[in-house]
Homo-oligomer: A and B are copies of this chain.
Amino acid sequence: MSDILDTATSWLSEEDLSYVRDRVPIVYVEAVPVRINHRGEVDRVGLLLTFRPDGSVSRAIVSGRVLYGETIRDALWRHLTKDLGPDLDPQLPVSPSPFTVAEYLPDPDKTGYHDPRQHAVALAYVVPIAGEATPSEDALDFTWLTVAEATSQAAADEMSAGHGRLVRLALAHAGMLR
């Protein structure tokens, strides 16, 4: 019950969000959805096809803000099932330690991760998917790529600033980057 209230009050008006974005780093979670075999080896990487804030189309991993009072795990679950549907059955990580921390800044040159709207500190996780992905209406499509496809230059070119790099770091963490 208190969970529901916490979450309800933590949605911010555009004005409030703009105010805090000018003053503090914003906490994000990011998930690289993968299909694994029975040995735990990554077989496929799932990427959304979405509109960027500027209206162009790009491939992307799952990404979203952590709300006031919401835990990292609840935020991961919420964004994954919101973007990829209620039958997703994501296997959230046992350890709270992310495989990397991506620091998005308005300055595109400082970290290599870029967000013109804000300073975001994103905790990134690899999330095996056991169920079925049905992308939400916000997304144009969702595709399972092979490891070779997902780490290709072509895929990197289709991703917004930093997501291609996160996919490579995720696959390196999984020992699958060649």
* A→B interface (CB under 8 Å): 2, 10, 12, 16, 19-20, 22-27, 34, 36, 38-42, 65-74, 77, 91-101, 103, 105, 107, 110-112, 119, 121, 123, 126, 128, 165, 168-169, 172-175, 177-178
Q: Which residue of B lies closest to A3 (CB)?
A: B110
The reply to whether B92 and A38 form a contact with Cβ atoms under 8 Å apart is yes
A94 & B172 in contact (Cβ 8 Å cutoff): no
Q: What residues of chain B lie closer than 8 Å to A73, measured between beta carbons?
A: 39-41
List 27 contacting pairs A-B, 8 Å CB cutoff, sorted by A: A10-B23, A10-B24, A22-B68, A24-B67, A24-B68, A27-B121, A36-B94, A38-B77, A38-B92, A39-B71, A39-B74, A39-B77, A40-B91, A40-B93, A41-B73, A68-B119, A71-B110, A91-B91, A91-B128, A94-B126, A95-B99, A95-B126, A97-B100, A97-B173, A100-B172, A168-B172, A169-B172
A86 CB, nearest partner CB in chain B, Å: 12
Q: Give every chain B residue within 8 A of A93 (Cβ-Cβ).
A: 40
The 9 A-B residue pairs with the shortest CB-CB distance, nearest first, are: A40-B92, A172-B172, A39-B73, A96-B175, A96-B101, A20-B20, A25-B27, A169-B172, A94-B174
Bound-state Cα–Cα, A16 to B23, Å? 8
A99 to B98, CA, bound (A): 9
